[in-house]
Amino acid sequence: MSTPTLQEQLKNQGFVVIRQLLSNQEVDFYVNKLEERSGITKENFNAQGAGRGFDPKGRQASWNLPDGVSKSPDFWPLIYHERLISTVRDLLGPDIRFLQHTDLHVGFSAVAWHRDSVNRKFGKGPDWDESQAPYKMVRVGLYLQSHAESSFKLGFIKGSHRPATNITLGRRLSEIQITWMGALSYLSPKAQLWAANAAWIATEPGDCIIFDPRTLHSGSYITGPKYSMFVAYGIENVHFYHHQNYYRHMRSELNYGDLDPELTQTLKAKGLYPDQFPVYADIEGAWTPAPVLKSLLAKRFKDGSKA
Ligand SMILES: O=C(O)CCC(=O)C(=O)O
Ligand SMILES: [Fe+2]
């Protein structure tokens, strides 16, 4: 059997892995910039404490900035990185646009099974209805640390992004099981590894993972430095506009802002700026955190410039 193409992999499993998309020089550059931006350096991590988010002195060594790439000019070149853009064009088609859904992480791993899409409950809501427009969006994770130093792996439940007309009992049970497993992360950061049907990808510096935001995924626990950067792209249609609205307006606790006019200009010149931004007051079934969590997160992300 021949190896599936990248398009087939994205369609069937919901993710693709591109090894060493960034050069060693780019990796060093972005590690430095992340350390500068977060105020956390490799010395802040130690084998015992880092996975729980604390350094040896008990200071928090975990930093996470939603909208971080758009908010930090040093990271803008990632958005229009030539090799990345040509890979995403290969996957989605020539007319891709930047989707404002980005993150910067230092010492942070998203240790719970979840989706990054607007409608997170399998099969419920417009994200899962492709009868009018195809869902053509990807989230891109770029990793800068080695597996040996961090123990980090990104896990996926293959095929969990695919809408189904008849949802089988097996699929329903597996969704229920994975939701429960996500909740167990509060008990143990290793709990997510128990998911029997997961594919775990150990990342190395410069590796890139491109996935459909509806695919269930989870970070693993970590035991040392982890540096990651996330950007997103899509083809403009109703799904894209929902996603754009969701992060910019509905997830207010994540503190997304307007794009810097200089970034807007650059993206326009490169043909990556969306033609439209229709605003929706509400999106059916959009997932939002419980109010207590929302206000906790809002406090954490209020001043994005601080670690
Ligand atoms: O821990 C990771 O690298 C995954 C991050 C993630 O899933 C997210 O930020 O939504
Ligand atoms: Fe995620």
Q: Which atom in ligand 1 lies closest to the alpha carbon of residue 226?
A: 3
Return the best residue to mutate from 106, 192, 193, 228 for the ligand 1 pocket (most ligand atoms within 8 A of CB): 228
Whole-prediction pTM: 0.93
pLDDT at 63 over 70: yes
Q: What is the DSSP string of 230-243?
A: EEEEE-SSHHHHHH
Condensed to tens digits (0 to 9), the pLDDT of residues 175-208 reads: 888 877 777 776 676 776 776 688 999 999 999 9
Q: How far is the CA of 65 from the centre of ligand 1 (A)?
A: 12
Shortest-distance Cα residue to atom 8 of ligand 1 = 110
What average pLDDT is seen over the chain?
90
Residue 80 contacts residue 267 (beta carbons within 8 Å): yes
Q: Which atom in ligand 1 lies closest to the alpha carbon of residue 116?
A: 10
Q: Which atom in ligand 1 lies closest to the alpha carbon of residue 111?
A: 1
Distances (CA, A) of 227 to 37, 108, 187, 279: 12, 8, 24, 33
Does some domain include residue 258? yes
Q: How far is the CA of 141 from the centre of ligand 2 (A)?
A: 9
Residue 41: domain span: 6-301
Q: How far is the CA of 207 from the centre of ligand 2 (A)?
A: 16
Does some domain include residue 79? yes
Side chain identity at 151, as an amino acid letter? S
Q: How far is the CA of 107 from the centre of ligand 1 (A)?
A: 11
- CATH classification at residue 263: 2.60.120.620
Does some domain include residue 206? yes
Condensed to tens digits (0 to 9), the pLDDT of residues 223-253 reads: 889 999 999 999 999 999 999 999 999 999 9
Q: In the prediction, which pLDDT does 47 show? A: 42
Our count of domains for the chain comes to 1
Q: Which atom in ligand 1 lies closest to the alpha carbon of residue 143?
A: 3
pLDDT band at 60 (very low <50, low <70, confident <90, very high): low
Condensed to tens digits (0 to 9), the pLDDT of residues 14-55 reads: 999 999 999 999 999 999 999 999 988 888 776 444 445 555
Does some domain include residue 256? yes
Q: In the prediction, which pLDDT does 217 show? A: 95
Condensed to tens digits (0 to 9), the pLDDT of residues 91-121 reads: 999 999 999 999 999 999 998 899 999 999 9
Does some domain include residue 15? yes
Does some domain include residue 75? yes
pLDDT at 255 over 50: yes
Q: What is the DSSP string of 146-184?
A: -HHHH--EEEEETTTT---SS--HHHHHHHHHHHHHHHG
Higher pLDDT, 305 or 192: 192
User: Which pair of tokens denotes residue 50?
Assistant: 């880092």
Does some domain include residue 185? yes
Does some domain include residue 28? yes
Condensed to tens digits (0 to 9), the pLDDT of residues 120-176 reads: 999 999 999 999 999 999 999 999 999 999 999 999 999 999 988 788 888 888 888
Tell me how far apart the alpha carbons of residues 232 and 85 are, in angstroms, rounded to a whole number: 11
Tell me the residue length of the chain.
Answer: 307
